[in-house]
Amino acid sequence: MKIILQQDVKALGKKGELVSVSDGYARNFLFPRKLAAEASAQALNELKNRENAKQHKMETELAAAKEAAAQLEGKTVRIHARAGSQGRLFGSVTAKEVAEEIARELGVETDRRKITMEDIKTFGTFPAEIRFHAGVAANFYVLVGE
């Protein structure tokens, strides 16, 4: 019997997969526990539509990530900070500050957790990288000054 899994089932498959099992296993175990549904024409059509929608969403996210990476690639983000007499900053420049400045200057919304950079505790220009999507990254510079 062909069934569509409604939840992950150990040693059988993941949610949304179409699998073939014995009739007794489906009727006596999977259906009563609402772990699976029979693979009727309507259910197969819904599964196909869900997969198409998921694929379309992934494609649009990838396109948006590539566009954002192209906007940011090679740019310099300026951050103003205060420092003491030796040129060391009071505190350090964080990824959160960099993300806010990118949004303000370039209009690209980013997540601070996706920015990788070294600890910035002095004035100068520092390289940084941001990963927008799997395989889509942009390298940019952080310029810290007064």
Same domain membership, residue 84 and residue 103: yes
Query: Binning pLDDT at 50, 70 and 90, where does residue 84 land?
Result: confident
Same domain membership, residue 52 and residue 23: yes
Strands 36-38 and 120-122: unpaired
The counts of H helices and E strands in the chain are 3, 9
Q: Give 21's contacts (C-beta < 8 A, 6+ positions apart).
A: 1, 3, 12, 30, 36
Looking at the structure of the chain, the number of domains it has is 2
With contact defined as beta carbons under 8 Å apart, do 66 and 136 qualify?
Answer: yes
Same domain membership, residue 40 and residue 7: yes
Same domain membership, residue 100 and residue 44: no
Question: Residue 49 belongs to what domain range?
Answer: 2-62
Say which CATH number the domain at 131 has: 3.10.430.100
How much is the pLDDT for 22?
Answer: 94
Q: Model confidence over 25-47: pLDDT tens digits? A: 999 999 999 999 999 999 899 88
Same domain membership, residue 84 and residue 57: no
Model confidence at 138: pLDDT above 80: yes
